[in-house]
């Protein structure tokens, strides 16, 4: 398996209509990538400029950041040719890697706009190098690529803020990620949500995360027993609720149960907007301590008491 470390530059001009933003919020104007083999050694480089077809002007901030020369983008390929060419260059057995969580989403969104065949019909597993690097150095929050490069004393032999250079530096950071993080801290791009009724389970060191399929409304989710059932993160057994769901479905809801084998289990559920419309649930479940269980119980009591007051 090869690692495809890629970075995109995209454009959204100032003052475009909400209607346009809905159709294609960001138009890709450059693809840069580096291919690493399974030993994470560089085997190939990729770089293409793309001639915009959707927006007719470039945001001034982007012109400045990318140091674009006049007429430079006009010499680019059109998106369909460039994306097709890029995917052929990638090959079949690959793992996509990006700095942050937006590039794979925007690539898929642009491909869908041009009616290209989808990369996948379900969530796509990938490596968010920024997330892995943050786990490695255990700094909270998001570190910029430039700061990571400085912190790791990586030689700055290409200028920043072009697609190729950012992919190149991201690949340098990827090389220092230890095997255990590389294998355990992965991400899913949710441009395509799971279709399975029980959703997709993602193992993560922080506990277990499930993603549901897309539904039309919040109520559809709250009325789907398969989603609202509490499952043990370790044995996935369906558990009887000990603390019923409470909280705000627009923000976060909680519930808890006890697994006969693994002890107290707490779950959090968030309803989010799908990238292609509709809503989906993100459910975290983890084994919690007795004290955490007691504190959830207290929050549940207060929340139901407050609801009782507002009803009367």
Q: Yes or no: say if 91 and 179 are a contact pair by the CB < 8 Å rule.
A: no
Q: Which stretch binds Zn ion (CB under 5 A): 90-98, 260-268, 273-281, 304-312?
A: 260-268
Closer CB to Zn ion, residue 214 or residue 259?
259
Q: Which of 49, 119, 232, 243 binds Zn ion (CB under 5 A)?
A: 232
Helix ranges restricted to H, the chain: 18-23, 60-66, 79-90, 103-113, 129-137, 145-151, 163-176, 179-184, 218-222, 225-228, 290-311
Q: Please count the CA atoms within 13 angstroms of the CA of 283 that sit on its side-chain side.
A: 28
Residue 259 near Zn ion by CB under 5 A? yes
3-class DSSP state of 50: strand
The alpha carbon dihedral of 151, 157, 163, 167 has a sign of negative
Long-range pairs for 180-184: beta carbons < 8 A, 24 or more residues apart: 181/132, 181/135, 181/136, 182/127, 182/132
Residue of closest CB approach to Zn ion: 232
Q: Is 93 in the site for Zn ion (CB under 5 A)?
A: no
262 binds Zn ion (CB under 5 A): yes
Q: Which range, of 23-31, 36-44, 205-213, 229-237, touches Zn ion by CB under 5 A? A: 229-237
**Residue 175 engages Zn ion in binding (rule: CB under 5 A):** no
Could you say which residues in the range 68-87 bind Zn ion, by CB under 5 A?
Answer: none
User: Which CB, 63 or 234, lies closer to Zn ion?
Assistant: 234
Nearest approach, Cβ of residue 237 and Zn ion (Å): 5
Region near Zn ion per CB under 5 A, out of 45-53, 76-84, 230-238, 299-307: 230-238
Please report, as ranges, the residues that interact with Zn ion according to CB under 5 A.
232, 234-235, 259, 261-262
């Amino acid at each position: 398996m090869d690692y495809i470390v890629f970075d995109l530059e995209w454009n959204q001009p100032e003052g475009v209509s909400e209607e346009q933003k809905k159709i294609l919020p960001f138009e890709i104007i450059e693809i840069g990538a580096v291919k690493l083999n399974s030993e994470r050694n560089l085997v190939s480089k990729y770089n293409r400029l793309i001639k915009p077809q959707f927006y007719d002007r470039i945001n001034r901030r982007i012109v400045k950041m990318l140091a674009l020369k006049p007429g430079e983008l006009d010499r680019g390929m059109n998106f369909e040719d460039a994306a097709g060419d890029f995917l052929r260059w990638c090959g079949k057995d690959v793992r996509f890697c990006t700095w942050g969580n937006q590039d794979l989403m925007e690539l898929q969104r642009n491909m869908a706009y041009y009616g290209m065949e989808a990369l996948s019909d379900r969530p796509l597993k990938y490596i968010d190098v920024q997330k892995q690097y943050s786990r490695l150095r255990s700094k909270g929050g998001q570190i910029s690529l430039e700061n990571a490069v400085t912190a790791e004393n990586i030689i700055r032999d290409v200028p920043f803020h072009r697609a190729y250079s950012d992919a190149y530096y991201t690949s340098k950071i990827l090389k220092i990620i230890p095997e255990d993080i590389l294998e355990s801290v992965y991400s899913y791009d949710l441009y395509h949500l799971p279709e399975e009724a029980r959703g997709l389970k993602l193992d993560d060191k922080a506990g277990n995360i499930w993603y549901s399929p897309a539904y039309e409304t919040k109520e559809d989710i709250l009325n789907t027993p398969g989603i609202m059932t509490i499952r043990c993160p370790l044995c996935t057994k369906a558990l009887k609720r000990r603390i019923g769901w409470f909280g705000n479905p627009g923000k976060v809801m909680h519930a808890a149960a006890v697994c006969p084998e693994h002890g107290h289990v707490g779950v959090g559920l968030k309803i989010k907007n799908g990238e292609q419309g509709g809503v989906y649930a993100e459910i975290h479940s983890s084994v919690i301590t007795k004290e955490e269980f007691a504190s959830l119980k207290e929050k549940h009591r207060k929340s139901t008491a407050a609801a009782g007051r507002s009803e009367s």
